[in-house]
Copies of this chain bind each other. A is one copy, B any other.
């Protein structure tokens, strides 16, 4: 019976994600959201209830986004250490091309909102559970492929590389390319 929306929830959510990614949670007002999303405030609240929930949805959208655009190679079923190497060094070189690096939305959020809000914290943890699982799979494959020793402590190395990825996200804002390359080089060298 009723009238149809003349916007797509997924599309406007992706736009919202980019605004939050660039400016953070608190510094993003609903006014700039409605401009960037291209819809009225009413529609924002109709589709996403409130600002916090929109932000949480944006984090989920971010996870889908990085799965498709950043972790593609790492998410192949048989991804191994060489894929992890490619990924980390790609991040190093990406820093030079772009202007100021936006870093990782989830790392930024962890820093800004931290353990303050339980709902957002839960979403942050979900994201890192996902990355941790991805890393474990890669490390298991790397053992099978004889890229790393058979007695490698998978859990331990997964925690290490998760920490390194979080470090890279911060470092990409504060280090130059050669420093970033050094960081990644040492991180990868230890497992060989």
Contacts from A to B (Cβ < 8 Å): 23-24, 26-27, 99-103, 107-116, 124-125, 128, 153, 155-157, 159-160, 162-171, 173-175, 179-180, 182-183, 185-187, 189-190
Contacts and interface: CB of A to CB of B under 8 A. Distances in A.
A166 B162 contact: no
Copies of this chain present:
2
A156 B182 contact: yes
Contact of A160 (B24, B109, B186): B186
A166 B175 CA distance: 11
Contact of A179 (B99, B103, B159): B159
A52 B167 CA distance: 26
A128 B180 CA distance: 13
8 contacts: A103-B110, A103-B111, A103-B114, A107-B111, A110-B173, A157-B182, A159-B175, A164-B167
Given A108-B114, A110-B111, A111-B112, A166 B160 contact: no
Q: Is the interface of A mostly helix, strand, loop or mixed?
A: helix
